[in-house]
Amino acid sequence: MESKHAARWPVYLTLALLAGVTLTFVVVFISASEPANDAVPVTDTYAERVEVLLANADPARGEALLGPIDCAACHILAAETGIAPRFDGVATRAATRRPPLTAAEYIYESITHPTAYVVEGFTGSMPQNFAERLTDQQLGDIMAYLLTLK
């Protein structure tokens, strides 16, 4: 009798793993299917702040920062991941995404106030405190790099 029970444990383990994978898929699917949040009306264009941040910004330093601060975990340069919008072409899209914001102002808002506007088809999954983890120099450098991706 013990051999019959011993032979069944791989089946039970497989069923448990399958249930876990299915549950994970359902949670991810439902969260990705949620409609984008209503955009917060633009009341500040951030123009002065953006000007200061970009004054001494270096796109090369910004590009180098993307890996260490895990931007690529959700934003891929040229592919859709379903987690966050891709980076290629971001400067072009940012220029018209949220009038009256300029591309630089939209990118700034997206980093510092990530749920002010959530792109349709994506969830507001960017950490709310992400900008707090960056120095002003790092923020400016990242913005400068993203503005080169047309």
* pLDDT the model gives residue 134: 96
pLDDT tens sequence across 22-34: 555 544 544 444 4
pLDDT, average across residues 54-60: 98
Highest-confidence range of 37-46, 75-84, 110-119, by mean pLDDT?
110-119
pLDDT, average across residues 126-132: 89
Judge whether residue 113 has pLDDT over 50. yes
- Within 10 angstroms of residue 83's Cβ, the number of other Cβ atoms is 15
Q: How far is Cα 43 from Cα 1, in angstroms, rounded to an integer?
A: 73
Q: How far is Cα 141 from Cα 58, in angstroms, rounded to an integer?
A: 5
- Taking the whole predicted model, whether its pTM rises above 0.85 is answered as no
